[in-house]
Amino acid sequence: MKEKLLGKTPEELKAVAQAAGLPSFAGKQLAQWMYEKRAKSFDEMTNISKAGREKLAELFELGVEAPLGLAESSDGTKKYLFPASEFAVEAVMIPDEERKTLCVSSQAGCKMGCKFCMTGRQGFHGNLTPAQILNQFISVDESAELTNAVFMGMGEPLDNTDNVLRAIEVLTAPWGFAWSPKRVTLSTIGVLPSLRRYLDESRCHLAISIHNPFPDERLELMPVQKAWPVAEVIRMLKEYDWTAQRRVSFEYTMFAGWNDDRRHADALARLLRDIECRVNLIRFHKIPDFPYECASPRAMEAFRDRLNSLGVTCTIRASRGEDILAACGMLAGKHNN
């Protein structure tokens, strides 16, 4: 199998150029074609000699792969299905006025086992490479129009730290996509060893999936609470400075009768005391063989208002793409027309 170039740095691409008999400065040209111009084949790289392009194609692959399928929601959300070795993963493009956000996957399946998540139910099938992650950005129809990225698709990003951090490096480096780190948010359940590394090595935003402030109740649906208690995660987050340059938010999926009352709101406010943050309330989207329903709109509004009254900024996130199984917790690597 040929080595894929997508995800390599200019320094690494110098060695690629030299292996193809090209001068070392062709490494910079490769980076410009791959990341700035989003080339999908070596043939597009017209400032590299034809013989050089042929040799590159003989030895390497760019790593750009077209989607296997596409579904479009009535609200304009689009879900793309991408190859990932023998499995498939999904990326979701969410339009919102001037913004176009890509919800990107980092793994095929997931090890975390959250009981309300379709991705977690399918088990773990493998980490995505930097090429497979970046291909989602390059191969969607809206590639040139994307304004933001959220690592909130299939998988736990901090269970694939090396590859995710390399993809983020390409997204934010001047020689890469040259995005501001403020355009990128990573969502995690709180994988403590990797979380500190992410915070130290990137300036991108962070979202923590919390869903319940009480440890024993959180453990009922999120097995990771045993390995990485959310209180320990928050203690670590308090070591960092949260400003407009880098924000932390908490994702809270609302379940009727499980986490949607004043007791939970008050406990959540106590847990998040002294940390500058936002809480995003998320509608639960019903999945097969799971006993809970989504909290009512009235309960969600009361929960939001209670948190705001206690000094915790809270909003209710609009649900997008539910009719094509593209909303939070519904990605399963299957295309639905």
Residue 328 designated active-site: yes
Q: What single-letter amino acid sits at 242?
A: W
Phi, psi of 335 (to 5 degrees): -90, 135
CB 34 within 8 A of CB 6: yes
Phi, psi of 196 (to 5 degrees): -60, -40
CB 248 within 8 A of CB 185: no
Residues 6+ apart with CB under 8 A from 105: 82, 84, 89, 90, 91, 128, 133, 136, 153, 154, 155, 331
Interhelix angle 130-139/161-172, rounded to 10 degrees, is 40
* Annotated catalytic residue within 3, 11, 90, 117: 90
| DSSP string for residues in 10-64 | HHHHHHHHHHTT--TTHHHHHHIIIIIS--SSGGG-TTS-HHHHHHHHHHEE---
* Annotated catalytic residue within 110, 117, 204, 328: 328
Question: Could you tell me the two tokens for 170?
Answer: 């390409």
Q: How far apart are CA 79 and CA 327, in angstroms?
A: 10
Interhelix angle 230-237/262-271, rounded to 10 degrees, is 40
Residue 145 designated active-site: no
Question: Could you tell me the two tokens for 321?
Answer: 């793409």
Q: Of 332, 329, 334, 319, which Cα lies nearest the Cα of 73?
A: 319
CB 271 within 8 A of CB 234: yes
Beta-ladder partners of 108: 126
| DSSP string for residues in 144-175 | GG--EEEE-SSS-GGGSHHHHHHHHHHHHSTT
Q: Which residues are catalytic?
A: 90, 328
